[in-house]
A = this chain, B = another copy of it.
Amino acid sequence: MSAPAPRQLRADAARNAERIVHAGRRAFAELGADVSLAEIARRAGLGVATLYRHFPSKDDLILAIFEWHYADQVEPAINEALADGDPWQGMVTVLEAALRLAAEEKSTFVAARDPARVTSDLASRFFSALSTIVRRAQQAGLVRAALEPGDLPRLVTMLVSTLRQSDESAQVWRRYLALLLDAFRPAAATPLPPASQS
């Protein structure tokens, strides 16, 4: 029997990585943060050595789960928003995609040894795109001019904080996103204290 061609090997590796990512998401959601990498390998139908080859640590797997979800759900919403003729609706769609990710990956996030480090690169990509999307809505007069790029991480953190007391299926965050969006509108805007104070 001849050895498989390199292209075939790469395709196998990519398929294995994806199986591990999906098994990992489900395992964290069902079994919680303490689930072992061996259990995730078992659920993926692969050996634990194969898992370690792809993801040397739990945080490497968790980063891959976030990247997969971001590429699958958030990036398409961003691209849609940047092309959307209605900058308000584009902004709402992107915020919804981000909150859905945070809600669905709550257990994954908690499982990380260093959650902030795992998500920091994705977060800066996200907030850079969101700034552009919010600026478009401001230029169209749909969002109050006083909102600054530096507000966006804080506002998303506020919305994420509503996930803490609710289970993953509850969509409580939708209510607080709707409320916060009402404060984005120029209609109700009153002067805001400055973004940074000494």
Contact = CB atoms under 8 A, between A and B. Distances in A.
- The binding surface of chain A is classed by DSSP as helix
Interface in A10-63: none
A172 B154 contact: yes
Interface stretch (A75-83, A105-113, A123-131, A174-182): A174-182
A187 interface: yes
Count of this chain's copies in the oligomeric assembly: 2
Contacts of A196: 170, 172
A189 B182 contact: yes
A7 interface: no
A119 to B, nearest CB: 14
Contact of A188 (B176, B185, B197): B185
A179 B158 CA distance: 12
A180 to B, nearest CB: 6
A145 to B, nearest CB: 13
A89 interface: no
Contacts of A171: 193, 197
B193 A175 contact: yes
Contact of A187 (B174, B176, B188, B191): B188
22 contacts: A154-B162, A154-B172, A154-B176, A155-B179, A157-B164, A158-B158, A158-B161, A158-B176, A160-B161, A170-B196, A170-B197, A171-B197, A174-B193, A175-B192, A175-B193, A175-B194, A180-B183, A182-B189, A182-B190, A185-B188, A187-B188, A188-B188
Given A153-B165, A182-B188, 10 more contacts: A151-B175, A155-B179, A158-B161, A178-B192, A179-B192, A180-B183, A182-B182, A182-B189, A185-B188, A187-B188
